[in-house]
């Protein structure tokens, strides 16, 4: 998003979206190796079908990792104060995911160096042409507004 500024975030500000992520078998295999989660429903079509699924599904933590990337492209990881998600639908292989976030509240609170601005964010991973896969929230520390004293 052109002209996006973290210091001027207010209620309703949308985080710049990540590029759409397609769930491929290669991505699932790479994530299984990186995460150590080799549950067969994520990498073996026969095992997924035996479990009652149409085919393999993405790891829930893969969706959470994408939201983590969305956040840390917007705010330094040291300013990420809390982050949690709820999984609501499996993301199927060949599905396309959109990761979004919006500022739900801006508040002031006691912080490490006095009063600091914080934003409460609503987060989502949606399957394109499908249901909401993950809903989440985060609390982030905001930089001071331009012209405010340090």
Q: What is the pLDDT of residue 2?
A: 43
Q: Where are the alpha helices (DSSP H) in the chain?
A: 25-35, 45-50, 60-72
Nearest to 107 by CA among 75, 149, 142, 72: 142
Asked whether the beta carbons of 117 and 106 are under 8 A apart, the reply is yes
Task: Identify the pLDDT of residue 147.
Answer: 56
Q: Alpha-carbon distance 67 to 138, whole Å?
A: 10
pLDDT at 110: 86
The pLDDT assigned to 7 comes to: 78
Please state the pTM of the whole predicted model. Answer: 0.86
Which residues of the chain carry a pLDDT beneath 70?
1-4, 145-150
Model pLDDT, residue 1:
40
Spatial distance between the Cα atoms of 27 and 23, rounded to a whole number of angstroms? 6
Q: Looking at residue 150, what is its pLDDT?
A: 47
């Amino acid at each position: 998003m052109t002209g996006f500024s973290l210091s001027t975030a207010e209620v309703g500000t949308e985080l710049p979206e990540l590029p759409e992520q397609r769930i491929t078998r290669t991505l699932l295999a790479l994530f299984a190796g990186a995460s150590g989660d080799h549950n067969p429903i994520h990498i073996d079509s026969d095992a997924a079908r035996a479990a009652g699924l149409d085919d393999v599904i993405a790891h829930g933590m893969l969706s959470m990792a994408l939201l983590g990337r969305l956040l840390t492209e917007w705010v330094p990881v040291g300013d990420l104060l809390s982050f949690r998600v709820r999984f609501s639908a499996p993301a199927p292989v060949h599905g396309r995911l959109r990761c979004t976030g919006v500022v739900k509240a801006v508040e002031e609170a006691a912080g490490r160096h006095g009063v600091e601005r914080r934003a409460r964010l609503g987060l989502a991973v949606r399957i394109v042409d499908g249901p909401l896969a993950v809903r989440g929230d985060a609390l982030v520390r905001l930089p001071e507004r331009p012209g405010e004293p340090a």
